[in-house]
Amino acid sequence: MHTKENSCCCSFDDCKLTTEWLLSRTRHRPKIAIVCGSGLGLLADNVSNKQIIRYEDIPNFPVSTVPGHEGCLVFGQIKGKSCVFMQGRFHLYEGYSLCKVTFPVRIFKLMGVETIVVTNASGGLCQDFKVGDIMVIKDHINLPGFAGQHPLCGPNDERFGIRFPCMSDAYSKDLRKLVLDITSELGYSNFVHEGVYCMVSGPNFETIAEARMLHILGSDSVGMSTVPEVTVAKHCGLRVVGLSLITNKVSLDYSREEKVNHEEVLQISKMRAEMLQNVLLTFIARSHQVETINDSHCIYSNAV
Ligand SMILES: O=P(O)(O)O[C@@H]1C[C@H](O)[C@@H](CO)O1
Query: pLDDT value at position 257?
Result: 77
Q: Is the pLDDT of residue 297 over 70?
A: no
Q: Is the CB of 140 under 6 A from ligand 1?
A: no
Does residue 39 or residue 9 have the better pLDDT? 39
Residues catalogued as catalytic: 38, 69, 91, 93-94, 121, 224-225, 248, 262
Q: Is the CB of 88 under 6 A from ligand 1?
A: no
Q: Is the CB of 265 under 6 A from ligand 1?
A: yes
294 and 165 Cβ atoms separated by less than 8 Å: no
22-65 pLDDT tens trace: 999 999 999 999 999 988 888 899 899 999 999 999 999 999 99
Q: Is the CB of 224 under 6 A from ligand 1?
A: yes
246 and 132 Cβ atoms separated by less than 8 Å: yes
Global pTM value? 0.92
Tell me the chain's radius of gyration from C-alpha atoms: 18
Closest Cα to atom 8 of ligand 1: 224
Mean pLDDT of 221-233: 98
Mean pLDDT of 102-130: 96
Residue 226 alpha carbon, nearest atom of ligand 1:
3
Alpha helices per DSSP H over 93-172: 98-101, 103-111, 143-146
Report CA(158)–ligand 1 centroid distance (Å): 31
Residues 6+ apart with CB under 8 A from 139: 170, 171, 196, 197
Q: Is the pLDDT of residue 301 over 90?
A: no
Q: Is the CB of 123 under 6 A from ligand 1?
A: no
Residue 225 alpha carbon, nearest atom of ligand 1:
3
Q: Is the CB of 37 under 6 A from ligand 1?
A: yes
Of the listed ranges 56-60, 113-117, 263-267, the least confidently predicted one is 263-267
Report CA(266)–ligand 1 centroid distance (Å): 9
Query: pLDDT value at position 34?
Result: 97
90-103 pLDDT tens trace: 999 999 999 999 99
Of the listed ranges 41-50, 159-168, 218-227, the least confidently predicted one is 41-50
97, 156, 189, 303 from 71: Cα distances, Å: 17, 29, 32, 26
Residue 223 alpha carbon, nearest atom of ligand 1:
7
